């Protein structure tokens, strides 16, 4: 009997399918700018968190650019300790409400989840969003704030000034980390509202502005001073900031300079860069014109050129503004499309028409306004430097697409304003700041990270760069070594 008991097999864990998140129906959401995904209820979050295997060596943490203790915060959800779960996330990530919505978890933490080998991975991002949203609903307030102020008093660092240029994901993360380390931090933001690409680039239906403001308020609560309408390069130069007592500076100004295709007709009325189009709608509330003062041309037929998240955001925005037909024109196939899979899925649900293996060669118009997109069909050749198959034009395959508006969403580069007064900061051949893995630039005391260094990337990678730079800045200030 004893041997039978010893050899008895342990009961297998009951297999629970991944909990799907509720969404607005496509026919409803194309008529509003409210969030598409509605978030987990408490019951759904508890069910999903119970799927976690609680691995001894969780690979998901290694897959996170900011190294959140994913296993730890999910365990706290299981215990209904949501405030502690939030504190656990904020040990490494000051922007959980943002990351839970726009971070590409499917290519990072969820991609290496052990459960995902034979089943769907744990919905880590959606659980992070649940924890962040529970703060808003239950008014947890700011966690461990008094102790942070006490740390600054005890270390004497509160008198050491550091500056952060730009309040996007890289800048906010760097500022929050420097504040945790005890420094006096000032963020200089060129626009009238903090958040960078989070407020001007990502639509309300993917990332509500109230969520961004909640994250900004948390960073400010750590003692960070935020100065808006301050264009470094115009209002102040980097040298003037260093001369005024800032011991180290982080540049996180992102990539706000739009790229165009360089084809005939791009100067017609009705042609927008995605930067302008989304900024007008997202930050300046053009979708509420004339209640708000910012106009935007709406149009019945909108053609968006590009295949990334910015192109998808532009196309889905156009649909919500009332366009009858919206095209996404992309020179490669769906397989190579860099946009998030779920965003592509949402766009198709909303009636966005994908035109693959097609590239514009000219914009045609009349009376100063764009009327048609002249395109050429493409085929895929050998892989290029990006690892994707190179699109090659097919001879004599040109055709035209009727359109009222064209939005160019093929990428963007660094805004040159800052660098015009900082010639001693070395740039790479693309015009981005050259920096090492820690964010150190060619100018003593100046660090950089995010899109200003790498070109257009993801929010979470920018945050990782901001956190890495803050640690390097701390080391530089303490040792003086460059």
Mean pLDDT value across the chain: 91
Compute the average pLDDT of residues 258-275: 97
pLDDT tier, 8 (very low <50, low <70, confident <90, very high otherwise): very low
Compute the average pLDDT of residues 74-99: 95
Domains 15-138 and 155-256+413-479 share a fold: no
pLDDT tens, position by position, 315-361: 999 999 999 999 999 999 999 999 999 999 999 999 999 999 999 99
Homologous superfamily of the 15-138 domain (CATH): Alpha-helical ferredoxin (1.10.1060.10)
pLDDT, greater one: 357 or 15? 357
Q: Give the pLDDT confidence score for residue 11 in this predicted structure.
A: 43
For the chain, the domains span: 15-138, 155-256+413-479, 260-410
Structural domain 260-410, CATH architecture:
3-Layer(bba) Sandwich (3.50)
Q: How many residues does the chain have?
A: 482
Q: What are phi and psi of 37, to 5 degrees?
A: -90, 135
Q: What percent of the chain has a predicted confidence (pLDDT) above 70?
A: 92
Q: Give the pLDDT confidence score for residue 386 in this predicted structure.
A: 77
pLDDT tens, position by position, 104-142: 999 999 999 999 988 899 999 999 999 999 876 665 554
pLDDT tens, position by position, 60-81: 999 999 999 999 999 999 999 9
Compute the average pLDDT of residues 163-185: 97
Compute the average pLDDT of residues 391-419: 95
CATH for 155-256+413-479 is 3.50.50.60
Q: Give the pLDDT confidence score for residue 6 in this predicted structure.
A: 41
pLDDT tier, 415 (very low <50, low <70, confident <90, very high otherwise): confident
Q: Give the pLDDT confidence score for residue 456 in this predicted structure.
A: 77
């Amino acid at each position: 009997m004893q041997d039978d008991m010893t050899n008895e097999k342990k009961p297998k864990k009951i297999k629970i399918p991944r909990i799907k998140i509720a969404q607005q129906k496509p026919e409803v959401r194309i008529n509003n700018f409210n969030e598409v995904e509605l978030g987990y209820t408490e019951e759904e979050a508890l069910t999903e968190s119970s799927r976690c295997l609680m691995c001894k060596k969780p690979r998901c943490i290694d897959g996170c650019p900011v190294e959140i203790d994913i296993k730890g915060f999910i365990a706290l959800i299981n215990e209904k300790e949501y405030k502690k779960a939030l504190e656990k996330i904020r040990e490494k990530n000051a922007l959980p409400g943002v990351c839970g919505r726009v971070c590409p978890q499917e290519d990072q933490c969820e991609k290496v989840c052990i459960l995902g080998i034979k089943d769907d991975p744990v919905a880590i991002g959606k659980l992070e969003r649940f924890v962040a949203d529970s703060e808003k609903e239950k008014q947890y307030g700011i966690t461990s704030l008094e102790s942070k102020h006490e740390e600054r008093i005890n270390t004497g660092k509160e008198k050491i000034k550091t500056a952060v240029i730009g309040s996007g994901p890289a800048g906010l993360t760097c500022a929050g980390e420097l504040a945790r380390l005890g420094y006096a931090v000032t963020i200089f933001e060129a626009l009238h509202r903090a958040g960078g690409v989070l407020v001007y680039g990502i639509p309300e239906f993917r990332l509500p502005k109230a969520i961004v403001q909640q994250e900004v308020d948390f960073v400010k609560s750590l003692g960070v001073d935020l100065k808006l309408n301050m264009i470094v390069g115009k209002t102040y130069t980097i040298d003037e900031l260093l001369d005024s007592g800032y011991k180290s500076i982080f540049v996180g100004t992102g990539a706000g300079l739009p790229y165009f295709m360089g084809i005939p007709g791009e100067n017609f009325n009705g042609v927008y860069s995605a930067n302008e189009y989304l900024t007008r709608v997202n930050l300046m509330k053009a979708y509420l014109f004339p209640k708000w003062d910012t106009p935007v041309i709406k149009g019945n037929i909108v053609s968006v050129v590009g295949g990334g998240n910015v192109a998808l955001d532009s196309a889905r925005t156009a649909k919500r503004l009332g366009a009858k037909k919206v095209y996404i024109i992309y020179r490669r196939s769906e397989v190579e499309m860099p946009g998030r899979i779920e965003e592509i899925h949402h766009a198709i649900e909303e009636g966005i028409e994908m035109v693959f293996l097609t590239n514009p060669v000219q914009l045609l118009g009349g009376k100063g306004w764009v009327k048609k997109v002249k395109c050429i069909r493409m085929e895929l050749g050998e892989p290029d430097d990006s690892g994707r198959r190179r699109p090659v034009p097919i001879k004599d395959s040109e055709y035209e697409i009727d359109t009222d508006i064209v939005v160019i969403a093929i990428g963007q580069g660094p805004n040159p304003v800052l660098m015009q007064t900082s010639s001693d900061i070395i740039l790479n051949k693309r015009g981005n700041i050259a920096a090492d893995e820690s964010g150190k630039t060619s100018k003593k005391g100046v660090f950089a990270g995010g899109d200003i260094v790498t070109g257009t990337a993801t929010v979470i990678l920018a945050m990782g760069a901001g956190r890495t730079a803050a640690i390097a800045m701390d080391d530089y200030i303490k040792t003086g070594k460059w």
